[in-house]
Amino acid sequence: MTSLRTGFLLLSPLLFVLLAAFVVPLLLLVPTSFQEYRPGQGIATDAWTAQNYARIVADEFYREVVLRTIGLGAAVTLCCLVLGYPVAYLIVRGDPRWRLPLTLLVIFPLMLNLVVRSFGWIVLLTNRGVVNNLLIDLGLIERPLRLMFNLTGLMIGLTHIYLPFMVLMLVAALQNVPRDVEAAAATLGSSRLHVFRAVTLPLTAPGIIAGSILVFVLTISALVTPRMLGGPTYQVMATLIYDEYMQLLDWPSGSALSFALAISTILIIWISSRMTKRWAGLA
C-alpha cells in the first residue's frame, strides 16, 4: 500500500509551515537568552552568560513581577471557580428551556474580540469612568476610586475574560454526574448541601482541576488585558517581555523571561495531565 506516501503527502505541507515558522524560531530564541545585553551597544555575541535567567529570581524587580503574575493567576482562577460553578450548575440543572440561551450568553463574550472586552472595562473603571461617575452621583464617594493600573483592575478584567472557559469546563463535568447518584444520596437522607459536598463536588473534581489549570495558564501568559488595564507601570511577565523587546530592546532578558514563562506553562499542563491520567487509572 502507498498509504505511508499518501500520509506524508498530506502531512508535509503543514509540518513544513510549523517547522519553518514555529519550531525553528523558538529554537533560535535559545542562544539569544544566553547572550549579554550591553546598554548603548546592543547584544554582545562574543560571550555566553546565564545571567538573564539568574536575574529572574535574583533581581528584586523581576522577582516581584514573577510573584505578582503567579499570585494573579491563582487569584483569578479562584474567582473564576467560585463565580463559574453556580453558572454551570444553573445551565446543567436549571430549566432545560433556558439551557441554550444561557450557554450562548456565556459563549458570546468568549467569541468577542479580547481588545473590545478589555476596552469595555477601561470605559467602566477609568477615573472618570462609568463606575466612578455612578458612585459619585450616588454620593457614596467624593473622589474617584483608583480601579485601574492596579490589582483591582487586573483581577476584574482577567476574571471576566477567562470566566467563560471555566464555566464551559464545569458544564461538561456536571453533565457527566449521573442524577441517580445524587438522588440516591438524597433518598438516604442527605441534605441538599450534603449531597452537593459529598457527591456532586467530588464527581466534578476532574472538571474543576481541568478548568483551573486552563484559567491559570491563560492568566499567567495574558498580555492584552494586563497591558490595557494595568498600563505600562503595573507589570506582569507577558507585559515585561513586551517592553523588553519593544521598548528596552533588551532581547536577551526578554527571551530568558519568555522561556521561563513557556516552560512553566508546559510543565503545569504536563504534570496536571499526568496526574489526571493516574487518577483516571485509580477510579
Q: Does 247 bind another protein (CB under 8 A)?
A: no
Q: Which of residues 10-39 bind another protein (CB under 8 A)?
A: 10-11, 13-15, 17-18, 21-26, 28-29, 32
Minimal distance, residue 72 CB to another protein, in Å:
14
Q: Does 186 bind another protein (CB under 8 A)?
A: yes
Q: Does 251 bind another protein (CB under 8 A)?
A: yes
Q: Does 168 bind another protein (CB under 8 A)?
A: yes
Minimal distance, residue 234 CB to another protein, in Å:
14
> Please, are residues 73 and 149 in contact by the beta-carbon 8 Å criterion?
no
Nearer to another protein, 128 or 143 (CB): 128
Q: Does 197 bind another protein (CB under 8 A)?
A: no
Q: Please give the size of the binding site for another protein, defined by CB under 8 A.
A: 90
Q: Which of residues 107-166 bind another protein (CB under 8 A)?
A: 107-124, 126, 128-130, 133-134, 160, 163-164
Minimal distance, residue 202 CB to another protein, in Å:
19
What are the residues whose beta carbons fall under 8 Å from the beta carbon of 160, sequence distance 6 or more?
A: 109, 117, 121
Q: Does 178 bind another protein (CB under 8 A)?
A: no
Q: Does 235 bind another protein (CB under 8 A)?
A: no
Q: Which string of DSSP letters, residue by residue, matches the chain? A: --HHHHHHHHHHHHHHHHIIIIIHHHHHHHHHHTSEEETTTEEE-S---SHHHHHHHHSHHHHHHHHHHHHHHHHHHHHHHHHHHHHHHHHHHS-HHHHHHHHHHHHHHHHS-HHHHHHHHHHHHSTTSHHHHHHHHTTS-SS----SSSHHHHHHHHHHHHHHHHHHHHHHHHHTS-HHHHHHHHHTT--HHHHIIIIIHHHTHHHHHHHHHHHHHHHHT--HHHHHHHTTTS--HHHHHHHHHHTS--HHHHHHHHHHHHHHHHHHHHHHHHHHHHHHHH-
Looking at 54-62, 68-76, 197-205, 219-227, which segment touches another protein (CB under 8 A)? 219-227
Minimal distance, residue 205 CB to another protein, in Å:
19
Q: Does 181 bind another protein (CB under 8 A)?
A: no
Q: Is 94 left (phi over 0), alpha (psi -120 to 50) or beta?
A: beta
Minimal distance, residue 73 CB to another protein, in Å:
12
Minimal distance, residue 112 CB to another protein, in Å:
5
Q: Which of residues 42-81 bind another protein (CB under 8 A)?
A: none
Minimal distance, residue 187 CB to another protein, in Å:
9
Q: Does 223 bind another protein (CB under 8 A)?
A: yes
